[in-house]
Amino acid sequence: MKGTKESQRIYKMVMCGVLTALAMIFSYIESVIRIPLPIPGIKLGVPNIAIITVLYVVGTKEAITVNFIRISLTALLFGNINSFLFSMAGAILSMLTMIILKKINFFSTVGVSVAGGVMHNFGQIIAAAFIMGSSAILYYLPVLIITGTVTGAIIGAVAALVAERVKRQAEKNL
């Protein structure tokens, strides 16, 4: 990215705004889709397309901010305090994992997203087991890890395409 400091700052701001909106639309779509497996805490992780794009195109701090805003607004609009708690637990673990893995540059976007998806489900189910005082809930973990891996890989591949296109567009316009 060339361009002046000011134009880059504005670009980052606009990008965060657009991707927050996109993440919220994805959150809504996800809340409407019914996954045939009746397992607590199971999610497709579609909003992660937007979060990974922010992480790769804009930056770490911005990705954390966008994700936090997305979760808070989504809980406020379509959820409740319960869903907020569980999503937060999953999101914190997932964000941390993805940020660290992106920094050490060991995996591509797909690997980072897989780890993020798995840790998201892990965090949610641990929070649920803890809040509801039930270790039996943990027996859902194997299925949650497999679904997190598969959805994480698909989401990561899509996010890589989106991030690359957004980056190319930015280089052209700035």
Partner 1 sequence: MENKKIKRDAVLVLLCIIISAAVYFIINIYVKKDGAYAVVKVDGEIIRSLELNKNTSVIVHGYQGGSNIIVVDNGQVYMTDADCPDKLCERTGRISRTGESIVCLPHRVVVEIQGNTAERIDSVVQ
CA distance 45 to 110: 13
Closest CB to partner 1 among residues 15, 137: 137
Q: Should residue 137 be labelled a site residue for partner 1 when binding is judged by CB under 8 A?
A: yes
H/E element, 116:
helix 109-131
CA distance 87 to 108: 25
Q: Which of 55, 38, 36 is nearest to 116 (CA)?
A: 55
Out of 77, 131, 161, 174, the only residue in the binding site for partner 1 (CB under 8 A) is 131
Q: Should residue 161 be labelled a site residue for partner 1 when binding is judged by CB under 8 A?
A: no
Q: Should residue 29 be labelled a site residue for partner 1 when binding is judged by CB under 8 A?
A: no
Window 64-83: residues binding partner 1 (CB under 8 A): 80, 82-83
Q: Which stretch binds partner 1 (CB under 8 A): 6-14, 32-40, 62-70, 161-169?
A: 32-40
CB neighbours of 42 closer than 8 A, spacing ≥ 6? 35, 121, 143, 144, 147
Out of 23, 75, 141, 155, the only residue in the binding site for partner 1 (CB under 8 A) is 141
CA distance 106 to 112: 9
Binding region for partner 1 (CB under 8 A) = 38-41, 80, 82-83, 86, 106-108, 110-111, 114-115, 118, 128, 131-134, 136-137, 139-143, 145-146, 148-149, 153
